[in-house]
């Protein structure tokens, strides 16, 4: 069985997991920039029928891209090891498994939201998310 959280545990973990999510997103964005840069270089080489390329610079950029990809992968693995599910890295969607009435549902949070305030079932996904209600225990309001 996968790890589950109380609402309080999820709220307490949120700043840590949010920081990890931002780190993974940054790694992914850096990797995409390097990838785009390499594609542009390949395109210029193709259009010019070949050109001199500083191989050491190209290799260094490729290594930087690979490192950025690895940072993103390692950070996502760290979030996963905590028990939190990254549903969409680009959108910044996280789900925290929660047991309600003997069934696992997901506390849902999106990057930019101040607190965890929604939930949904596995089947419903993000589109079916609903506001938390009294079934989720004490509803502490964070100021």
Q: For residue range 86-116, list pLDDT tens digits in order.
A: 999 999 999 999 999 889 999 999 999 999 9
- CB-based contact 48:100 (threshold 8 Å): no
- Considering the domain boundaries, does residue 96 fall inside one? no
- Residue 52 belongs to what domain range? 22-84
Total domains in the chain come to 1
| Integer Cα distance of 22 and 26 in angstroms | 6
| Integer Cα distance of 12 and 115 in angstroms | 10
- Considering the domain boundaries, does residue 31 fall inside one? yes
Q: What is the pTM of this model?
A: 0.82
- Considering the domain boundaries, does residue 125 fall inside one? no
Q: Which pair of tokens denotes residue 15?
A: 């700043």
- Considering the domain boundaries, does residue 118 fall inside one? no
- Considering the domain boundaries, does residue 139 fall inside one? no
SS3 99: strand
| Integer Cα distance of 138 and 143 in angstroms | 15
Quick count: other Cβ atoms within 10 Å of Cβ 137?
12
- Considering the domain boundaries, does residue 32 fall inside one? yes
Q: What is the pLDDT of residue 44?
A: 78
């Amino acid at each position: 069985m996968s790890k589950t959280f109380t609402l309080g545990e999820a709220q307490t973990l949120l700043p840590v997991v949010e920081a990890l999510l931002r780190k993974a997103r940054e790694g992914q964005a850096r990797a995409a920039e390097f990838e785009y840069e390499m594609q542009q270089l390949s395109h210029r080489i193709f259009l010019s029928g070949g050109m001199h390329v500083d191989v050491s610079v190209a290799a260094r950029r490729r290594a930087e891209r690979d490192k950025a990809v690895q940072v993103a992968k390692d950070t996502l693995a760290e979030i996963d090891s905590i028990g939190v599910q990254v549903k969409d890295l680009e959108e910044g969607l996280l789900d925290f498994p929660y047991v309600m009435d003997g069934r696992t549902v997901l506390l849902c949070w999106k990057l930019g939201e101040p607190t965890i305030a929604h939930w949904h079932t596995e089947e419903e996904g993000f589109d079916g998310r609903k506001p938390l209600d009294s079934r989720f225990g004490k509803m502490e309001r964070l100021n």
